[in-house]
Amino acid sequence: MAAGLNRRDMITGGGTALGWFLIGGSRVWATPATAVAQGFSPQVLTHPQIKALEILGDTLVPGSVEAGLAAFVDAQLEAGPESKLIAKYLGVPVEQQTGFYRAALDAVDTALSNLQPQALVAAMGADAVSNWTAPPASYVQFVLRADALDVTYGTEAGFELLGIPYSAHIPPETRW
């Protein structure tokens, strides 16, 4: 991530679109969607956690998998203090974000063995997931949905998908 950017700059400037990803053994500056399409290697999350994130993310925000949700979250967790994940702004200290996401996604993965994705979303919203072993399910759902929305619609291209004119307070320097 470019030094000195904050979350607002990232969202308004289309910055959710770029990051460092490990692709084919090399560090590549790319969009999360490109990273996923080229087979990025997660650096923080496990493959079962990535799969759980993708299933839940795409259920909450269709299109988030193609937008690169898993690559985005993994790269932001790797970024440490520079992380722009919504959890940081909702009271999860940066040094605890990796543990938060791992616990949340492990719980989602376990729940998906017993529930279909739509049923899991309903149960999470009501904090009614059996044997849930992570932070409150409704909070996890809120955080993951916000991350999915950021990566899917937090760019100029995302606004175009929604048919909304893009009117950033600070326009991006380049069109992604």
Burial class for 97, CB neighbours closer than 10 Å (0-12, 13-18, 19+): buried
Predicted pLDDT at 169: 65
**How many CB atoms are closer than 10 A to CB 77?**
21
Tell me the pLDDT tens digit for each residue of 110-157: 999 999 999 999 999 999 999 999 999 999 999 999 999 999 988 777
On whether the pTM is more than 0.75, the answer is yes
Query: What value does the mean pLDDT take over residues 10-15?
Result: 41
Spatial distance between the Cα atoms of 68 and 91, rounded to a whole number of angstroms: 24
Per the CB < 8 A criterion, the answer to whether 164 and 22 are in contact is: no
Residues 54, 145, 21: CA angle, nearest 5 degrees: 50
Residue type, 31: T
